[in-house]
Amino acid sequence: MLRKPKAKPVTPRQFEVLEYIRLYADHHGKNPSQLAIAHGIDSTQNSVFRMMQLLQDRGVIYRERLCARQYQVISDYELKQNYRA
């Protein structure tokens, strides 16, 4: 019997980014740019860039190098239990 991989725990802010990406892609048929994500979650483009790097390092998303909007969520994710900021 195959087991489904355990969802990766993410912080509330990371969860907000991932949900924004999912909703944007469902509505527009393509992934949002980092600038669009920044506007959508009321953040800076630099903060979004760093968060995307962290999510990639943790194996939640995969990004193509040097290609705009070429990323995909490759892991299930869930809000960390008992998260404290």
Beta strands in 1-85 (DSSP E): 8-10, 61-63, 71-73, 77-79
pTM here is 0.76
Mean pLDDT of each 10-residue bin along the chain, 85 residues long = 63 92 92 94 95 89 74 69 50
Query: Alpha carbon 27 to chain centroid distance?
Result: 16
The pLDDT, as a whole number, for residue 10 is: 87
Domains of the chain: 8-76 (1.10.10.10)
